[in-house]
Structure 1
Amino acid sequence: MAKVRAINADLLARNAYLELMNEKMRRDKFGASSERSRRLRDQLELTFEELEANASEAELLGQIAAAKTTAVTAFTRKRTTRRDLPADLPREKVVIPAPQACPCCGSHDLGHLPADITETLERVPARHKVIQTVREKVSCRQCEKISQPPAPFHVTPRGMFGPHFLANLAFQKYGLHQPLNSQRDRLEREGIPLSLSTLADQIGAICVAVKPLFLLLEAHALSADRLHADDTTVPLLAKLKTEVARIWDYVRDDRPFGGPAPPVALCYYSRNRKGEHPRAHLAGYSGILQVDKFAGFNDLFREGRGEKPMTRANCWAHSRREFFKLVDIRQQMKRRNAVAPLISPLASEALERIDRLFAIERDINGKRAAERLAVRQEQSAPIVVDLESWMRETRASLSRHDAVTKAINYFLNDWEGFTTFLADGRICLTNNSAERELRAVARGRKAWLFVGSDRAVSARR
């Protein structure tokens, strides 16, 4: 029975793994990046994690049961080839010496052969220590003046916590989304009792200390010729309810066109989604802005704004998503329950045409802007011209209430913004750089649930 359980558990784990791989490949080929698809992948990964653990447990239990009998052989699971551990990790060599004499005949005439080396990943537990800084004092016997070296620099006032502790505190809170009360409880279990107010006081001091660094990053980002912009929601605690506030991000990433400047992401907070917020964030900026079709960005591109209006580059991933919804069987089955899902052949054709552009972009990603532009004018431009003609002809033959018409209108209502990439090799086809940076906020919403006040989040942008 133990062997049968092990085999069944292995089959379940393999099936979950194949479902996960199928979903990832299907999304990579056909699906746009969306929070719903990420949740689905997360759920499949959790399912695979549980079944994989169960299969390993069942395998070991089967081996223990088989060792007690000679009639049944143990079941051994087939595993993928193990990856090599990173070469940059420090190695600690533990040598098990060979025997000095032959265990068979007792001879001491032995020759050394190449040793077998097994690498095992181990974790060195983190530990805390207290650094005592002793500043000696001296008194002059002649003039009775007391002298003492100055106190060392401390990141935060009173110097109770060192820079590594403070960096870990901030990273746990904002990088791993661990609230301060959870960190307080963990420290208390490690024998370090600290109050919540003490940790919160240090977070406030950290924000002040890193403010100059943020200003330097802001200047670096806004000096770019091209930026990605996006926003996402954050629940804001209000009286008897939560309100929907916003986190805006602006990303400089020159790597797609081989730019040497390091990437950077800026985040700002606002209580609502009014267009005045991106106008304030980008005051004085006049480069290329890659965005979705949110109307709040429209004023940034109008004539008369500053010395030079921005150049708009719309996101093809957002517009492609409108067609993908019409062929997404899984989502249609959820919405329509027992009604058979419908796959629009027109939407499928549109996806095939658009995917040709994405295939070209994958080949030129990371190349110089001039080279990207030359490839686009030679290969992408004819596809875009044919796509526009096909869309206009298709729209003319459909009802204005048809779902395909609405997806086409999403494109044609601002076709100039979608074709900007054909005139500039620095522009990306999608706004995924900004969307990727906001995933951290989406993950954090599951941990901290809401922000406590406007100042709490705006001071820590």
Structure 2
Amino acid sequence: MLVEADLPDDVDALRALVLEQARKLESADAEVERLRTILEAFRRHRFGRRSEQLDPDQLQLGLEDVEAALAEAEVAAEAKAGRPHSDRVRKTNRGSLPSHLERIEQVVDIEDKACPCCGGALHQIGEDVAERLDVVPTTFRVLVTRRPRYGCRACEGTVVQAPAPPRIVEGGIPTEALIAQVLVSKYADHLPLYRQAQIYARQGIRLDRSTLADWVGRAAWYLRPLRDHILEQLRRSERLFADETTAPVLDPGRGRTKTGQLWAYARDDRPWGGSDPPIVAYVYAPDRKAERPHAHLGDFAGILQVDGYGGYTALARRRQQIRLAFCWAHVRRKFYDLADTSPVSTEALHRIALLYAIEDDVRGSSAERRRAVRAERSRAIVDDLHQYLVARGRQVSAKSKLGEAIRYALTRWDGLVRFLDDGRIDLDSNTVERSIRPLALNRKNALFAGSDEGGDNWAVIATLIECCKLGAINPHAWLTDTLTSLANGHPIQSVGDLMPWFDVA
């Protein structure tokens, strides 16, 4: 910013200086505009057509970098223009900061409290208060437990001492809160153990990755009955979602990884006002064989909403008490991939979009109202779409991509139309797909599990953390309390008392 002392006396030199400053301001504004254009392009990728969308993780990284560059460019432009930062339109989160946070007050006061006009004493007539969010980096502390020993002067052999408090890691250094921190960092924030060890080392805490792994394994042993209890609760439900995703596992015998599977089973009755809390359970298996869901679901009887994997169809054939509801989102994807080259796909997408528009209108309504609206508005669309696909299916090669998309829908039609007669059924299985996404993030960061047992530990802890997230519960606080209760001998038959449920009413 120029001050008066910097200005030349010569008129031509002053004109040249003004032109130079104008060029700088124009350049700064152009840079701001360029970055805003890039940001808008990223946002179009986020909300645009699926074929134009970026990987969600890549998109977030791109947005972060561009938004940071834009803020830097705006500040630079303001500095060159001589505008104070306080003139900027604030983009940060609005509203007060949470009341539970500690407040550290500082008073910025004037030194001289005499009136600058008459010299009289000033008195306070008000104040301005501003709150800013501050942080203290993760602070380690050492909890010292002292257990005095007492002896009797009359009975020299008698020694009395309070028992040592029980721990998850007997004889180890971590508190249950620290173990919970390691679990949340690994399975919720997707930080592998070796990276956590590096973070701790920056504060002088030297912990081997193998030590952290030992803590995780011991915690998983204590927590496994809770995951099994959640899975049992799911088996008693009337309607479930199911899906699976790959879980690369190290295979030392061959010196490479093998492909295991993490199966997800979820319940979420909130779209039709159900009273049961939303929960999800993960189960690891070394393969994708059809008998896996049969073993996982036990005596489940009800509606199972799934994608097109044939193992679920085999399960329904084997057990008549299970009825399948298929996913319209998977049908839509088949046609979406062909929309640019196939008018048939475009027409199918249009009709499926009409079904989703109706679902938007009834989301959160009772099951009975959802069924009634679907009977009135959705059934005709579904019937017409079926006739349309049957007719077009006769006109295209069964081996073409379009033929495959049509056959995918028609061979699953009974399960696709089941939502028309039951208001509890959703149009798609996106509920469980959202529960699969955190597993994919962890897989991307950790690369693979070290063993089948490691895959099972992954499933156990991810189950509890994702249930906390579904219930809007702080997973670190819940895990700390739960591990403490388990270390203190909470009865295994009463693990239901520890569940991270919440009231959806």
TM-score, normalising length from structure 1? 0.86
1:105 deviates by 4.8
Identity among equivalent positions (%) equals 36
For 2:374 and 2:261, the matched residues in 1 are separated by 35
Count of equivalent residues: 431
CA deviations over 1:232-271 (Å, ceiling 9, x no partner):
1122223143222211111111111111222111111122
Q: Which deviates more, 444-453 or 15-24? A: 15-24
- 1:456 is aligned with what amino acid? G
Instruction: Say whether the 8 Å CA contact 1:16–1:44 is kept in structure 2.
Output: no
Who is 2:224 aligned against?
A: 211
Q: Which deviates more, 45-54 or 229-238? A: 45-54
Who is 1:132 aligned against?
A: 144
Structure 2: 5+ residue runs without aligned partners? 1-22, 460-505
Cα distance change on mapping 1:50 and 1:197 into 2, 3 Å = closer
Who is 2:10 aligned against?
A: none
2:296 counterpart of 1:281: yes
Instruction: Say whether the 8 Å CA contact 2:46–2:53 is kept in structure 1.
Output: no
Instruction: Say whether the 8 Å CA contact 2:39–2:66 is kept in structure 1.
Output: no
Who is 1:389 aligned against?
A: 387
Find the residue that maps to 2:458 and give its secondary structure: coil
Who is 2:161 aligned against?
A: 148
2:75 counterpart of 1:49: no
Who is 2:372 aligned against?
A: 374
Instruction: Say whether the 8 Å CA contact 1:226–1:289 is kept in structure 2.
Output: yes
1:63 deviates by 4.2
Instruction: Say whether the 8 Å CA contact 1:187–1:194 is kept in structure 2.
Output: yes
Cα distance change on mapping 1:173 and 1:76 into 2, 3 Å = same
2:5 counterpart of 1:7: no
TM-score, normalising length from structure 2? 0.79
Instruction: Say whether the 8 Å CA contact 1:315–1:430 is kept in structure 2.
Output: yes
Among candidates 238, 249, 268, match of residue 225 of structure 1: 238
- 2:45 is aligned with what amino acid? E
Q: Say what the alpha-carbon RMSD is for the aligned residues.
A: 2.6
- 1:434 is aligned with what amino acid? V
For 2:155 and 2:437, the matched residues in 1 are separated by 65
CA deviations over 1:190-210 (Å, ceiling 9, x no partner):
111122222121111111111
Structure 1: 5+ residue runs without aligned partners? 68-72, 328-341
2:38 counterpart of 1:26: no
Q: Which deviates more, 280-289 or 133-142? A: 133-142
Instruction: Say whether the 8 Å CA contact 1:256–1:366 is kept in structure 2.
Output: yes
CA deviations over 1:328-386 (Å, ceiling 9, x no partner):
xxxxxxxxxxxxxx442221111111111111111221222122112211221121112
Who is 1:314 aligned against?
A: 326
2:325 counterpart of 1:325: no
Q: Which deviates more, 76-85 or 253-262? A: 76-85
Q: Which deviates more, 389-398 or 256-265? A: 389-398
For 1:428 and 1:38, the matched residues in 2 are separated by 27
Who is 1:88 aligned against?
A: 98
Who is 2:259 aligned against?
A: 244
Instruction: Say whether the 8 Å CA contact 1:254–1:262 is kept in structure 2.
Output: yes
Q: Which deviates more, 398-407 or 215-224? A: 398-407
Find the residue that maps to 2:247 and give its secondary structure: strand
Cα distance change on mapping 1:22 and 1:209 into 2, 3 Å = same
For 1:444 and 1:252, the matched residues in 2 are separated by 22
Equivalent residue runs for 1:57-456 within 5 Å = 57-66=72-81, 81-85=91-95, 87-89=97-99, 90=101, 92=103, 93-97=105-109, 100-108=113-121, 112=125, 115-144=127-156, 145-238=158-251, 239-302=254-317, 305=319, 308-327=320-339, 342-456=340-454
For 2:59 and 2:425, the matched residues in 1 are separated by 34
Find the residue that maps to 1:391 and give its secondary structure: helix
Instruction: Say whether the 8 Å CA contact 1:102–1:110 is kept in structure 2.
Output: no
- 2:73 is aligned with what amino acid? A
Cα distance change on mapping 1:148 and 1:111 into 2, 3 Å = closer
Instruction: Say whether the 8 Å CA contact 2:249–2:455 is kept in structure 1.
Output: no
Q: Which deviates more, 210-219 or 199-208? A: 210-219
Instruction: Say whether the 8 Å CA contact 2:46–2:54 is kept in structure 1.
Output: no
Find the residue that maps to 2:171 and give its secondary structure: helix
Instruction: Say whether the 8 Å CA contact 1:59–1:76 is kept in structure 2.
Output: no
1:80 deviates by 6.7
Instruction: Say whether the 8 Å CA contact 2:290–2:315 is kept in structure 1.
Output: no
1:399 deviates by 3.4
